Amino acid sequence: MGDDIGVLRNEVEQLTLENPRETDNTKPLEEVVPISIHPDYPDRHIMIGTELTDELRFTLIHFLKKNSNIFAWSQRDVPGINPEIAMHKLFTDPKHSLVRQKRRKFAPECLKVIEDEVNKLIRANVVREAHYLDWLANVVSMDLERHDA
């Protein structure tokens, strides 16, 4: 098990690095170019190989643009997920009393980021407001751009 934890830590570290190391299984088999396929998201791209024939490249791009509605570019693009498949619930045991954590104070700019992210999820119908008599846990805010693993 100790080996597994080391491997997992290494994988997580690779995911958090700005430029993760390239290995044989992460290198593309050929050079790729970005292609924009959705008019509502021109800044988001998919990558296709450069070694395709012109005819195959045209056909592939046409097919991807025609089916661009199946790509989830944001949380809002994933409506109607059956709650039986994906839902987070906070289960509490009525035999045990809830432990109220000391409320953490956040800097105003951090509060704004938290509020914006929560509002995005609410607008996308990914989460909804829940009311509990006591706090169950504090929000943990992490700036991934400045995070050193």
- Listed residues 73, 105, 123: the one ending a domain: 73
- Listed residues 52, 73, 94: the one ending a domain: 73
| Residue span of the structural domain in which 100 resides | 81-149
Same domain for 98 and 139:
yes
pLDDT in tens, 35-90: 998 888 888 888 998 999 999 999 999 999 998 888 877 766 776 666 666 666 76
Same domain for 91 and 149:
yes
pLDDT at 148: 44
Same domain for 149 and 93:
yes
- Listed residues 14, 43, 73: the one ending a domain: 73
Same domain for 60 and 14:
yes
Same domain for 58 and 10:
yes
Same domain for 85 and 67:
no
Same domain for 110 and 66:
no
Cβ proximity of 45 and 64 under 8 Å: no
Number of domains in the chain: 2
Residue 4 pLDDT greater than 80, yes or no: no
Q: How far is CA 25 from CA 22, 28, 29, 58, 62, in A?
A: 8, 8, 9, 28, 29
pLDDT in tens, 108-146: 888 898 889 888 888 877 777 777 656 566 677 666 555
pLDDT at 59: 93
Residue 149 pLDDT greater than 50, yes or no: no
pLDDT at 26: 66
Residue 32 — φ and ψ, nearest 5°? -125, 155
pLDDT at 147: 44
pLDDT at 74: 72
Cβ proximity of 123 and 76 under 8 Å: yes
What's the pTM value of the predicted model, to 2 decimals?
0.42
